[in-house]
Amino acid sequence: SQQGEEDPQALSIQEGENATMNCSYKTSINNLQWYRQNSGRGLVHLILIRSNEREKHSGRLRVTLDTSKKSSSLLITASRAADTASYFCATDARGNQFYFGTGTSLTVIP
Amino acid sequence: NAGVTQTPKFQVLKTGQSMTLQCAQDMNHEYMSWYRQDPGMGLRLIHYSVGAGITDQGEVPNGYNVSRSTTEDFPLRLLSAAPSQTSVYFCASSYLQGLIYGYTFGSGTRLTVV
């Protein structure tokens, strides 16, 4: 079964708005990562947050982690059309095995 | 740096045929893995390896074999293809310690079994 589940499954926003997507997972983790996948391409690593961290920033990305609720959120501020992609969270709940969620499909309308 | 190279990019197989999906990385990564991606299912881990000569099963290993004779290469074998194996396959690698810094993914192999 999937370790992570993203919510919402699909999100459509206007350029310049903020996009928030959430990830819930089932068991304890050491770290959680977010990836982006453009249509027809491989995944690209965006950001990692460790289990002892609560918030992390990278450019227009902000990630939060709440280990008590087993959830994480990815915020993309001032979205651009180029941010249109699918976004996945991945957790290392089983040591060397990384498990991905089902993804959030983000569409940014110019 | 080529990163992670997957071949072929596209493949059509008949049910029962066998084939090998190739994956090579030139970053000296210890860790390599195979995922399949299906609509609405996200990515599911098939097999992974933490170094040459060491492989282990992931979430959906049935119907697939792997081997890791060198650090660079991690081929995925389908012994008898089935329509249920129609999917997009991704290979990914990382330093073992660098698992915390994220994977590098290949561009994928789109496989259709008819």
What is A18-83 written as a DSSP string? -EEEEEEESS--SEEEEEEE-TTS-EEEEEEEETT-SEEEETTEEEEEETTTTEEEEEE-S--GGG
In percent, the amount of chain A with pLDDT more than 70 equals 95
Query: How many contacts (CB atoms, under 8 Å) link A and B?
Result: 62
Contact yes or no for B99 and A100 at CB 8 A: no
pLDDT in tens, A55-78: 999 999 999 999 999 999 999 999
pLDDT in tens, B57-95: 998 999 999 999 999 999 999 999 999 999 999 999 988
pLDDT of residue A30: 85
Contact yes or no for A48 and B103 at CB 8 A: no
DSSP character at residue B73: B
CA–CA distance, B65 with B47 (Å, rounded to integer): 8
Scanning every residue of chain A, which has its alpha carbon at the shortest distance from the alpha carbon of B108? Answer: A42
Contact yes or no for A101 and B92 at CB 8 A: no
